[in-house]
Amino acid sequence: QDFPSFTGPLDALDTHALVLSAQRTVDRDPDHLLMHKDLADAHNGDRTVRNVVIEGADHDGILTDPQYAAETLRHLLAFLAGTAGREPESRPGPLTGTKPSGPTAESEENR
Q: What is the domain partition of the chain in residue ranges?
A: 3-85
Q: Are 24 and 57 in contact (CB under 8 A)?
A: yes
Q: Are 54 and 22 in contact (CB under 8 A)?
A: yes
CA distances from 105 to 14, 38, 75, 81, 111 (A): 30, 39, 24, 17, 10
Residue 89 has pLDDT above 60, yes or no: no
Average pLDDT for 31-47: 85
Residue 56 has pLDDT above 90, yes or no: yes
H or E element in which residue 100 lies: none
Residue 52 has pLDDT above 80, yes or no: yes
Residue 88 has pLDDT above 60, yes or no: no
Question: What pTM did the predictor assign?
Answer: 0.67
